[in-house]
Amino acid sequence: MSEEPAEQPTEEPSEEPIEEPVNLAPGLAMALAPQEEQEGDARRRRGPDPLAALRAWQPRTRLGRMVASGEVYTYEQALDTGLPVREVEIVDALLPDLTDDVLSVNMIQRMTDSGRRVRFNVLCAVGNGDGYIGLSVCKGKEVASTIRKAIDKAKLNLVTVMRGNGSWESSEGPGTSVPFKVTGHSGSTRVTLMPAPAGKGLVIGDYGRRVLDLAGITDVWSRSAGQTRTTINFARATFNALVELNRTRITEADRTRLNITEGRIIR
């Protein structure tokens, strides 16, 4: 009597767990969070979901793939790589707390052979109120799409803001003003920012105040010249003054004496 061979148990293929990145960009972490946690925010939110673009994001650049994989999870690390930021989703993932402010919307009319042509000129600024600011001007046929384009362009033009205690009346502590006098130009408009002690406030025009508020500067003296009523040039001159701060060479001794910080203050 022949013995039938015993059936050997078949080994089921083991499913290897997918390794998730240890560190994830804060914006991506918010976008990939369970939907139950976001229901409360969705009830208070109006308009489209700002995190929907991050959920469907397919990186197209090297830096974008590094952010999506978790190799880069802060904006400071992205700047240290030396790679250009060419995707808006990178900024949304690394700096989810950016605030946008539409400074001006102008209607431009032009008479052509086919009739009157209407376009819109939008000036927009974005910033996190803690050392990062971006400014852009865009033109388009519709207001909503032009504003969206201006916001995206401003996010790709972010610059770090240098802050310090340059006033002789300032005390020790993190800088809330500019470290030294600096001048920015745009067209015929010239804006000079000067250090002010803590508590003085922003002594500058309305549009310059809104730009400095997004940049994280709370105290400053200012002096302006030229056509200061031009909204775009005044805001641009203020922004260019902040850019000029980064082009100045400063010794380490002066950085310590003036309590200079660049970018965000990591607490």
CB-based contacts of 137-141 (< 8 A; 24+ apart in sequence): 137/232, 137/236, 139/108
If one compares 263 and 128, the residue with the highest pLDDT of the two is 128
Angle between helices 206-215 and 231-246 (to 10 degrees): 40
- Show Cβ contacts of residue 154 under 8 Å, excluding neighbours closer than 6 positions: 100, 124, 125, 126, 134, 135, 136
- Position 168 scores a pLDDT of 79
Paired strand residues for 137:
123
How crowded is residue 56: how many other Cβ atoms within 10 Å of its Cβ? 8
Strands 221-225 and 189-194: antiparallel
DSSP structural state of residue 4: P
**What is residue 266's predicted lDDT score, i.e. its pLDDT?**
62
* Over residues 66-74, mean pLDDT: 91
- The pLDDT tens digits of the residues spanning 33-52 come to 776 555 555 555 445 666 78
Burial class (CB in 10 A: 0-12, 13-18, 19+), 110: exposed
Strand, helix or coil at 80? Answer: helix
Lowest-pLDDT choice from 13-27, 44-58, 99-113, 217-231: 13-27
List the Cα angle 187/191/192 in 5-degree steps.
145
The backbone region for 177, taken as left when phi is positive above 0, alpha when psi lies in -120 to 50, beta otherwise, is: beta
